[in-house]
Structure 1
Amino acid sequence: MSLRKKTILIADDEREIIRVMNRELQDYFDDIQIINAGNGKMAVRVAEEELPDIIIMDWDMPEMNGIEATRAICKSEKTHDIPIIMATGRMTQPEDLRIALEAGAVDFIRKPIEFVELIARINTSLRIREQNLAIQQLLKSEIELKNRKLTTTSMLIVEQNNLLNDFFDELGAIEKKAYEVCNQLTPQVSDLKRRIQNYFDIDKSWDTFKFHFEEVHPKFFDIIQQRGSDISHKDLKLCAYLKLGMDNKEIANLLNITASSARVALSRLKKKLNLDEEDNLREVISEIG
């Protein structure tokens, strides 16, 4: 069997065991890299630096035992998805298996190691890891697609608002000229201006934006409403735009308000979310959902 560019980390404080495992695994796997660690603390550091495809972790080691090392590796954002096989010659009871699995190990093997069994467990763990990585990549691609939809929708809202504002200004100029000639056309122009303003107030494009936003951040708005008091429709928009990392000018364009009005709205939102003066609103929002 050929597993190209796979890396196995063996963590064990007994050099003879490491030597034998290196030999057996090199004999079976083609083109595989094996790295070693002599204790749990070193295993955590090497795992962070090398990001192996799988770890064979001895339970009983100095400085930091295998259980503590497994917990540390599983807590790290960089290494939490690396499969760990716990190996032990003494901790072989069902309760020990439970402890190892709860710490984050995916499998458990007894010493002295039967290498046919170990290789089978390694192959199984590697297949599961490859499947998980493929699923993660699909999810990442899907999220990236949804984020692109969000960005496109935001740009369309800004463009739409700009066009309507230009139209609104032109109608104002027409209304002024019409009033100078005769005031018969003024009611019709005023009605058109009112209808445009109503469109801004209803803002149907927000529904499209909200739909795509909730695909990426499904519980975001619920969390915002739980954390704050008297959260309005406009406040939810502000929170969504902050979550996407938009600056005040971009937010003002999306909400069809001035930059100063956007600053005031953000200040009020901070109070509604019960944040302290020293809290950074943008940082708080970015961490939600």
Structure 2
Amino acid sequence: MAWRAWVATANTVHYEDDASLWLHGGYGAIAVADGVSTSRGGGASLLAAWGFTAFCRAVLPGWRGSIAGAARRCLELLDEAAREASPRDADTAAEAKRLYYRGCGAPCTRPMSPWEPARLEAQAPQEGGGGQAPSTTLLAALLGPGGQLALVLAGDGVVVATTGSKESTWLLWGALPQFYEGSRLARFIEVGRGLQGEPVVLETRLPGDTLLALATDGVDPAALAEELVELARRGVPEDAAEGNPASLLLSRIQQRAGGLEDDATIALAYWASQAPGRLGR
């Protein structure tokens, strides 16, 4: 058995969301991040989402501790990278994201990678974000054998999991909702300063045939829960030719809302107890 995962983003309002995934055998990592608009946080969210999965890819081979311990080690490395990163480079990445997502579509199933800014040759803006460090939230999950799971909550957003029935569906908000626009409460990872506060790390083990979704705050949590249950009941596509389930979820949520007022991003993981296909509901 192995994990399967998908990502999709409708990143055309503020261009400040990001998503990343990595899978190898029984291990994997998924992440979504939402940059803080008042800090020009698009570059910070790129660093957070891709940095987490990249560092977990380096940490997991040979790791002998708990999966929660591995997630904390990934965060330590991300903290170091954020402290050493340049706010000006983050601004350049934010401008590159605007160029990229204007042409990727919504939902976009090929999130921009850290290598795109150089290829797109974006120009850094002359003025920064009012002297504020580019900052972002982060929701992430480290995936292990046997359905092992470590959730990382560093900011607002939503986590939902289900096996296909309302009785087996749970919903968890991020560590701290963004009560006030631009509030320091929303800033958990700052370029040039590292991690702010203490991200919450939760460890659990998912039952077989479980779908797990991480989403930024542009995704309505109730709609996500309902659509995730329906996807579980219908069955997860067995191959790429049948479509991207994360993109399908995002499209249906967008249709229900009549459009989106904020960037919206979903990372979806599926842990099966048997061969891919219907979840047995």
More helix, by proportion: 1
Give TM-score scaled by structure 2 length.
Answer: 0.23
Give TM-score scaled by structure 1 length.
Answer: 0.22
Pair member with larger Rg: 1
More strand, by proportion: 2
